[in-house]
Structure 1
Amino acid sequence: MKQIHFIINPIAGSGKTHKLSKDYLATFFEKEKYVIHIEYSNYKKHAAVLAKKAMEESADIIVACGGDGTINEVASCIVGSTIKLGIIPTGSGNGLASNLKISKHISKAIQIIKNENVRQIDVGIIHDKYFFSNAGVGFDACVVKNYESSKRRKFKSYIKAALKSFKELRYDRKIEIELNNTKIITNPFMIFVSNSNEMGYNISLTPKASLHDGLLDMLIVSKISKFKVLLLGFLILIKKQQYLKEANHFQTKLIKLTRHNGDLFQFQIDGEAYIIEEKTIFITIKEKALHVIS
């Protein structure tokens, strides 16, 4: 009997997780072949607690039902193991699921899990945390921080968070970046590191990124005027951000970031806000470290 554990974030963006009852899942998974377990996350990091519990109960597949934050919590627990990750994308952005071409329709996503076609994907590591889609410091981290303070998990909330971040825009952080035997000192608008080619909502800052190439894609946008921030936003929408001269793209396996001033790094990691207090941090990649059903 195959053990499948569903970890559901009930407040994920799309609000569709209420459909994932045991009776509903039983219409897909025959009781002669599968044992279904359902758990609900009730607070930040609870999904990780539930994933560890599922591992102790000999889960064959753990299914994260939510957005990129929920997926990060669950997947981080099973990196390097043989347990397979299933995804039912019910979040607001669903960047990783979109990159993996996992349908937002619950019934289709469940069928993908049942088909059990497995890919091994790379995993990003920043300090002591894993990321599967992207991580960043600067404007995107500010947007995530403002988004988390909003009560609604909708695209409109991202727009409001972006506008608030635009009004708060300031350059008071000098960062030294080392990669590929090159040193860059910048007062950045954004330092964005990606393992996948989509952030969600069909928006991409790193369209050439791959989950399977053993490389991190990095976009560094140096200090720009507010007019150029708006221009960059437009270029991102039409996937032409390379036309902004202050935007530079790199591929690498290892990145070292050192802050020259300020008390901490304010990061976003897979769409969740994090504070890292160390002066120097390393970002690297672990190849083919996660088994994902897609």
Structure 2
Amino acid sequence: MWAAISYLLLALLLIFIGWEVNSVYFAIVFYWTALSLLLVSTAYIFNTAKIFRKRENGVIPFYIRWAFVPFLFGVQIYNAWSRKRDKVPPIQQINENLFLACRLFPSDIDTLKDNGITAILDVTCEFDGLEWSSTQENINYLNIPVLDHSIPTHSQLNQAINWIHHHIKEDHRVVVHCALGRGRSVFVMAAYLLSQNKNADVHEVLAQIKETRETANLNKHQLRHLAKRHKKGELLIKNKAVLIANPVSGTRLWEEKEHLIVARLSDYYDLKVLTTTKEVNGIELAKQEIAQNPDIIIACGGDGTVAEVASVLVNTQCKLGIIPMGTANALAHVLMGITSKFIPVEQACDLIIDGQTSIIDTAYCNNELVLLLAGIGFEQSMIEKADRESKNKSGQLAYLNGFFEAFGEQKSQLLKVKLDDNEPKEICTNSFIVANAAPFTTLLAQGGGQPDHSDGLLDINWLTPNNEDSTTVLSIAELMFSSLTQTHLAINSHHTNAKRVEVTGEGELKYVLDGEVKTAQKLVVTIEPASLNVICKEQ
């Protein structure tokens, strides 16, 4: 916090000087510098390195850099001055394949080459990396943005130590650096060394580093968190991954994106890639691989492929990663947010690398896994009308067309519904949904707001039928309101929760289960709480 206060006080002083100075040009310089320092102090106050927007390749975007120019200029001068006065060399070898360093300058390229260093891990946020030099010299480069005197987040540290491990396993030499080579870089280096020996002592590992780099010195905050993470067993290499891809999902995006995905993930995971065929589906491939104890199995395809892989991972320690390539990609939308609709592959790869996880509920409908929902009426009719040909041709518009067709038919059904151990009751409805999870765009499942996929309960939603289109439109509008506000109006739509739902009709029921149309005489849906470990967006 002292850093934030120091920058803030200096910024206020510069604002005062700028106000008092007579020259407009000098005033602009003082105000500009004050703005830069105010932004930096904000980053420290809220402990967010993201304010610098430093990318993985070490570049701070131009639209951000202009605001930080005075600070960046000052940092460069200070780093160069500190380096000149430092009593240890800029780059030092800790073990056969690991090096520790302060800020790297273009003049260090020859030293990197002489030492056979081919991978640079930069754990700073406050200055640009050697992006142009690294590209020319064919050096692998990764930036993990961390504020000075601070620590990386759990996902950042996981990403860093797995990246180091991957490159060392490939017999690459890796240098880890921060500004002065004393704090942040030492923290990450020690975390990696501890990950290689769970019985190692934190102080002994730090002493080992200090034997070579005597200026290495973690502050109390860094030391406490390093010891805590080591004690909790969080410093583990978990990079054995299997990717199961459906090459014909959606618009056959796999063929176009395969190289990008494999190249992106291979820097962090020992990646094995398998593809489904007509003869061998995702279930069989996942069963075959789960026996090898991978850390993560990634389903690459549509909701059907995801469901196949997930069915094998329920109630296991293995994490499920998703790279959406289907038409709807509804579960990916729930776990990754709305941006998964626009840059699905890129965002999915980023999340898989970050490794943030959540344990979610699943459900079973007539002994079949349910990740999203089971629906009767509108939802079933909409999916049925959006056949494969129309989905290939129109994408998600096929579902919209199917919805309007189903809306025009206005078919109601008399259902007998039993919730948990309660007495059955008859419901006349044109839409009945039992949901475990659903994106906000699935309006028919939003009677009580967006379903909570980790509350151990099923969300049951139904509409009161009416022959007038206006009433149905109001019902849909009500659901939209519920989706946006997370409140239930209970005018034309109805919502409740249960752990078990039993449904029968006047004859055979046509229903949809996670996008697949099915039939049965009776539906029995049960919740399976906290049963699937998934990669997701940080909450």
Question: What's the offset of the Cα at 1:76?
Answer: 1.2
Q: Does 1:224 align with 2:466?
A: yes
Question: What's the offset of the Cα at 1:14?
Answer: 5.9
1:18-29 paired onto structure 2 within 5 Å = 18-22=255-259, 24-29=261-266
* SS of aligned partner of 1:164: helix
Distance 1:231 1:42, change over 3 A: farther
CA–CA separation in structure 2 for the residues paired with 1:44 and 1:175:
38
Q: Deviations over 1:116-158 (max 9, x none)?
A: 2221111111111111111111111111111135432412111
Q: 1:247 aligns with which of 490, 493, 518?
A: 493
CA–CA separation in structure 2 for the residues paired with 1:252 and 1:130:
17
CA–CA separation in structure 2 for the residues paired with 1:26 and 1:52:
25
- Which sits farther off after the overlay, 237-246 or 77-86? 237-246
Distance 1:41 1:290, change over 3 A: same
Q: Deviations over 1:161-194 (max 9, x none)?
A: 12332344433x4210111525320232011011
Q: Does 1:148 align with 2:387?
A: yes
TM-score, L = length of structure 2: 0.49
Distance 1:237 1:41, change over 3 A: farther
Distance 1:236 1:51, change over 3 A: same
Report how many residues are paired. 287
Q: Deviations over 1:35-84 (max 9, x none)?
A: 32222334598222322232244433111122322211211121111111
- Structure 1 counterpart of 2:295, which letter? D
In 2, are the aligned partners of 1:178 and 1:256 still within 8 Å (CA)? yes
Can you give the 5+ residue segments of structure 1 that lack an aligned partner in the other structure? none
Partner of 1:174: 414
After superposition, the CA RMSD in angstroms is 2.8
- Structure 1 counterpart of 2:424, which letter? K
Which structure has the larger Rg?
2
Partner of 1:17: 254
Question: What's the offset of the Cα at 1:34?
Answer: 3.0
CA–CA separation in structure 1 for the residues paired with 2:303 and 2:376:
17
Say which structure is richer in strand: 1
* SS of aligned partner of 1:52: helix
Distance 1:238 1:44, change over 3 A: farther
Q: Does 1:39 align with 2:274?
A: yes
CA–CA separation in structure 1 for the residues paired with 2:453 and 2:309:
18
CA–CA separation in structure 2 for the residues paired with 1:24 and 1:47:
18
Partner of 1:266: 510
* SS of aligned partner of 1:230: helix
CA–CA separation in structure 2 for the residues paired with 1:45 and 1:98:
27
Q: Deviations over 1:11-36 (max 9, x none)?
A: 43365333442564234323xx6332
CA–CA separation in structure 1 for the residues paired with 2:440 and 2:510:
18
Distance 1:258 1:202, change over 3 A: closer
In 2, are the aligned partners of 1:194 and 1:216 still within 8 Å (CA)? yes
Say which structure is richer in helix: 2
Question: What's the offset of the Cα at 1:96?
Answer: 1.7
1:49-198 paired onto structure 2 within 5 Å = 49-101=284-336, 103-104=339-340, 105=343, 106-153=345-392, 154-171=395-412, 173-179=413-419, 181-198=422-439
* SS of aligned partner of 1:54: helix
CA–CA separation in structure 2 for the residues paired with 1:247 and 1:203:
9
CA–CA separation in structure 1 for the residues paired with 2:280 and 2:436:
22
In 1, are the aligned partners of 2:264 and 2:349 still within 8 Å (CA)? no
* SS of aligned partner of 1:219: strand
Question: What's the offset of the Cα at 1:244?
Answer: 6.5
TM-score, L = length of structure 1: 0.85
In 2, are the aligned partners of 1:93 and 1:199 still within 8 Å (CA)? no
Question: What's the offset of the Cα at 1:100?
Answer: 1.5
Distance 1:23 1:205, change over 3 A: closer
Q: Does 1:214 align with 2:456?
A: yes
Question: What's the offset of the Cα at 1:3?
Answer: 2.8
Distance 1:287 1:244, change over 3 A: closer
Aligned identity (percent) is 24
